[in-house]
Amino acid sequence: MAVPAVNITIEQGTDFENVYTVTNPNGTPLDLTGYTADAKIRKYPSSTTSSSFGVGIITAAGQVIVSMANTVSGALSPGRYYYDVIITSSGSGKKTKIIDGMALVTPSVSI
């Protein structure tokens, strides 16, 4: 199964939040009870340094909420980055990438 590519824009020095819904093959929301999630952003996929997004899960709705505080986005240099979101089943340990894409960090003048 191909991972959906979702490109995002993060305004430097501001708070960012995006909600992704994980679905079953029949289109219904996947129950995320017993799952954890992780999301990172890197300048290049092979970069050794990364910044983490805050991640929350609304289990019954199959939603993963990805956020970044203004202090974290303020530390990013403007430009293009790569990011992804991975969920992990606590029971089996299986990791599944649910979203990836490019992140454009735009400069802010008022910070």
- In tens, the pLDDT along 29-76 reads 999 999 999 999 999 999 999 999 999 999 999 999 999 999 999 999
pLDDT (0 to 100) of residue 86: 97
Q: DSSP for 30-83, please give it.
A: P--TTEEEEEEEESSTT-S--EEPEEEEETTTTEEEEEE-HHHHHTSPSEEEEE
Domain 8-106 has CATH 1.10.510.10: no
97 pLDDT above the threshold of 80: yes
pLDDT category of residue 81 using cuts at 50, 70 and 90 = very high
